[in-house]
Amino acid sequence: MKKFKTLTAVLAAATMALSSMSWAQSEPAANKFSQTLTPDNAVLAMIDHQTGLLVGVRDLDPMLLKNNIRGLTAMAKVLDLPSVITSSYPTGPNGPIMPDILENLPNAPVINRQGEINAWKSPEFKKAIEKTGRKKIIMAGLVTDVCLLFPALSAVAEGYDVYAVIDASGTWNDTVQQAAIARMSQAGVKVTTWGSVLAEIMDDWRSPKGMELGGVLGNHTSYGWVYSSFMSQAGQSK
């Protein structure tokens, strides 16, 4: 009986210790999910937005997707946000990078991968991300279930905080998109939209780039009616 009580006490102590360890390990993760983007802690990664892949997108209207991509990259341009562009086998069927991205991000390094499907497995791409010194990656890619999903999972596994911009990414159909969203969410990737990213990183209309970012949102969403009305009234009041 005495041995049984001793064993019970030991097991209870072990359970409490494991519970404390579990809480301590989960607390940083919880903190990570409450952290927000700022112009100083994020890097934008545009992955495989190539003309050949764009043709096959069916989960979003291609013109809407193109508009969202322009909005996301225009946001990065306004903020002078560090950005990295990569393509998969651009001389093959995937085709070249969409010119819209290169137009908005003319100074971003372009990594043309010759074989790696997962961009994170490209030493050049990974090195370009690491060079920024930033641990929060705003990531978008074509197609969602491969070119976004794979590097998002790999980056999270190495301690990065990944924001997967789902409406600046695209794939073959809604089912594939939903499966990719589920898998990324299970791994701790933050699935989001480009407008939400812009608002989060803007934070305050009184910020130095507040009105410019409002203009980006207005130029690429129906918020443009609101923004144009405000600007018109502001001009009349002067």
Active site residues: 147
Buried-exposed string 154-182: b where 16+ CB fall within 10 A, e elsewhere = bbbeeebbbbbbbbbbbbeeeebbeebbe
* Cis peptide upstream of residue 165 (ω within 30 degrees of 0): no
| Token pair listed for 37 | 């983007």
Residue 60 contacts residue 172 (beta carbons within 8 Å): no
What whole-number distance in Å separates Cα of residue 5 and Cα of residue 17?
18
Residue 139 contacts residue 84 (beta carbons within 8 Å): no
What whole-number distance in Å separates Cα of residue 104 and Cα of residue 68?
13
User: Helix or strand or coil: residue 110?
Assistant: strand
What whole-number distance in Å separates Cα of residue 77 and Cα of residue 58?
28
Residue 66 contacts residue 100 (beta carbons within 8 Å): yes
Give CA 149 to chain center in angstroms. 11
